[in-house]
Amino acid sequence: MNERYYLGYFTSEANLRRAADAVREHDFQVHDIYTPYPVHGIEAAIGFKRSRLAVVGFGAGTVGLILAVFFQYWTTGFDWPLIVGGKPLNSWSAFVPVIFELTVLFAGVIGLIALFVRSRLWPGRNQPIIPEGTDHLFILVLKEGNARFIQNTAEKIFLECGAIKLEEGITVESSEPIVIANS
């Protein structure tokens, strides 16, 4: 199944924000935005939801904490009990460094894996290259699969907001969107 996209190229951040606000008013589905530098607050302007990566990191850190406490308590108290310097077998103060390290390790590694899986970033992935968007232009990509999408309206919005170039693109595969510009 081929999906179609409509791209608008802008020269300034202000024009991009105006276009993003205008397409949101017309209930168009924004697929993505390409900018030469991070634009603060643009994800809220186009309707992207807040990332749940922090929740994944907190959960992974909690799992690391629980495993560290269990492993150390089991090792020092049951599997290989050694009395060193008269300390009790389950000396919690000795567990703190390992608990901290495993909490950070689990949160970091599992959070990074979750980021790569969610973003579909894996080795060998064929990512589209839009050279104008990485150097000096801002690109707003609309998905045409929406029933409310009308190309003439989108073109009018883009031109009113200062678009310097308009393109229509299609995807080759439905599982991985690759934008191929029709010139």
Q: Apex CA 59: angle with CA 55 and CA 65, to 5°?
A: 145
pLDDT digits (tens, 9 = 90+) for 162-178: 889 888 775 644 445 54
What integer is the mean pLDDT of 38-49? 83
What integer is the mean pLDDT of 86-90? 75
What pLDDT score was predicted for residue 172?
A: 45
pLDDT digits (tens, 9 = 90+) for 91-110: 788 889 999 999 999 999 99
What pLDDT score was predicted for residue 23?
A: 87
The first and second tokens of residue 107, run together, are 């949160």
Judged against a pLDDT cut of 80, whether residue 131 lies above it is answered with: no
The first and second tokens of residue 8, run together, are 């608008």
Q: What letter represents residue 1's amino acid?
A: M
pLDDT digits (tens, 9 = 90+) for 51-71: 889 999 999 999 999 999 999
What integer is the mean pLDDT of 113-135? 76
Domain residue extents for the chain: 4-49+131-182, 53-119
Task: Measure the N-to-C terminal CA separation of the chain; round to a whole number of Å.
Answer: 21
What pLDDT score was predicted for residue 51?
A: 84
> What global pTM score does this model have?
0.65
* Domain 4-49+131-182 annotated CATH 3.30.70: yes
